[in-house]
Amino acid sequence: MSIVVLKDVKKSFGALQVLHGVSFSVEKGEVVALIGASGSGKSTALRCIDRLEKVDSGEIHVCGHRVDDPKLELRKLRLDVGIVFQSYNLFPHLTIEENIVLAPRSVKKMDKAAAREIARDVLAKVGLADKADNYPEQLSGGQQQRAAIARSLAMQPQVMLFDEVTSALDPKLTGEVLRVIEGLAASGMTMIMVTHEMGFARRIADQVVFMHQGRIHEHGSSDILTTPATPELREFVSEEL
Question: At 191, is the pLDDT very low, low, confident or very high (cuts 50, 70, 90)?
Answer: very high
Strand partners, 9: 22
Per-residue pLDDT, 115: 93
- Tally of structural domains, the chain: 1
Per-residue pLDDT, 111: 92
Looking at residues 121-146, what average pLDDT do you find?
Answer: 94
Give residue-wise pLDDT tens across range 85-128. 988 889 999 999 999 999 898 888 899 999 999 999 999 999 99
Instruction: Give residue 74's domain range.
Output: 2-240
Give residue-wise pLDDT tens across range 56-73. 999 999 999 999 999 999
CATH number, domain of 46, equals 3.40.50.300
> Is pLDDT of 183 > 90?
yes
Per-residue pLDDT, 170: 87
143 phi, psi to nearest 5 deg: -65, -40
CB atoms inside a 10 Å sphere around CB 127: 16
